[in-house]
Amino acid sequence: MGKTIIVTGGAGFIGANFVYLELREHPEDRIVCVDKLTYAGNLETLAEALQNPQFRFVKADICDREAMFALFREEQPDMVVNFAAESHVDRSIEDPGIFLQTNIIGTQVLMDASREVGVERYHQVSTDEVYGDLPLDRPDLFFTEETPLKTSSPYSSSKAGADLLVNAYHRTYGLPTTISRCSNNYGPYQFPEKLIPLMIANALEDKPLPVYGEGKNVRDWLYVEDHCKAIDLILRQGKVGEVYNIGGHNEMHNIDIVRLICQALGKSEDLIVHVTDRKGHDMRYAIDPAKMQRELGWQPETLFRDGIQKTIQWYLTHQDWWQRILSGDYQRYYEEMYAKRIAEGTK
């Protein structure tokens, strides 16, 4: 029999890609997406999913206990995958409060509701940023699942806080949890405030490309679909109580990514401007994904050189999608869509 899976944050970048993967790969399962539709949530991204009878969208805040308990009682989910989070480091430096609220308290509420209905799995989508950073001059060092948590930003601290709470709920209450910690993702539907989509959108409009500091910082990039496939595997075959690191050994300096984007779009590198560095800027992230490969047979399928071309192509052919974000129009989609449905429902 098909399962009911609650997916939080499914109107965001990775959550939406995960929703589409699940609907495609597991058509017997029902996906219930919970999303508050913050500035980072875009219901237009889920337009196709909304046509699928196996998909339900619920606009709600994961911190809202009453709403979450009511939904969990109604849906009796078999599994929960928590993508919902405030996710942008720069915003966390400006205003940490909402990060603690959503990323930590929201996780607690979801786990309390999961305990009450007795889910078979609660999966927490975490990040490699909980391990802090690595020095540039030690390319032999990687984050393993045993690397101590040592965070730098309010964002990563809030994610680490949530991870500790997940482990506590497993040990104290026996909640069947798993945690995945992935490196930087790129691909379709990423909000144009993150490095790759921001640079593509700015380059296409001949706007300056703001590189923090010298651009020597290293990130370990993974195509979003590979991340989603890894989560799907953990959900169905992973061991309860475990942490899994996800990454594809694809380290790049920020400046090289920006240059590559300029080249691919036929734009001059004169658009690049070096701006004031991010406070507390992590130098290098690098994941050791050996456990995922050894225990679950997972391998990244998309090479960076192919994935980045696909991504650039996607932003070129979906200019409406990101233009509506830049203009703010995307935030009206929910009202338009649901005002129409409510009117139809009351006819």
Binding site for ligand TYD (CB under 6 A): 89, 184, 194-195, 198, 210-212, 217, 219, 254, 278
Find the catalytic residue in 20, 155, 223, 330.
155
Is-catalytic flag, 66?
no
Residue of 16, 107, 121, 126 lying closest to 61 (CA atoms):
107
* 114 touches 72 (CB < 8 A): yes
Q: Which does 12 bind (CB under 5 to 8 A by kind): ligand NAD, ligand TYD, none?
A: ligand NAD
* 79 touches 22 (CB < 8 A): no
Is-catalytic flag, 128?
yes
User: What is the Cα–Cα distance from 28 to 35, expressed in whole angstroms?
Assistant: 22
Q: Which does 232 bind (CB under 5 to 8 A by kind): ligand TYD, ligand NAD, none?
A: none
Provide, rounded to whole angstroms, the least separation between the CB of residue 45 and ligand TYD.
Answer: 18
* 188 touches 314 (CB < 8 A): yes
Query: Residue numbers of the site for ligand NAD (CB under 6 A)?
Result: 8-9, 11-15, 34-38, 40-41, 61-63, 83-87, 102, 106, 125, 127, 159, 182, 184-185, 191
User: What is the Cα–Cα distance from 236 to 224, expressed in whole angstroms?
Assistant: 19
Is-catalytic flag, 129?
yes
Provide, rounded to whole angstroms, the least separation between the CB of residue 154 and ligand TYD.
Answer: 12
Provide, rounded to whole angstroms, the least separation between the CB of residue 206 and ligand NAD.
Answer: 26
Question: Which lies closer to ligand TYD via its Cβ, residue 235 or residue 308?
Answer: 308
CA distances from 49 to 43, 55, 82, 99, 316 (A): 10, 6, 18, 28, 22
Q: Which residue intervals of the chain are DSSP H helices?
A: 13-25, 65-75, 89-94, 97-100, 106-117, 154-173, 195-204, 224-237, 254-265, 290-296, 304-317, 319-327, 333-345
Q: Which does 15 bind (CB under 5 to 8 A by kind): ligand TYD, ligand NAD, none?
A: ligand NAD
Q: Which does 8 bind (CB under 5 to 8 A by kind): ligand NAD, ligand TYD, none?
A: ligand NAD
Provide, rounded to whole angstroms, the least separation between the CB of residue 338 and ligand TYD.
Answer: 31
User: What is the Cα–Cα distance from 49 to 325, expressed in whole angstroms?
Assistant: 19
Find the catalytic residue in 35, 44, 78, 129.
129
So which residues are the catalytic ones?
128-129, 155
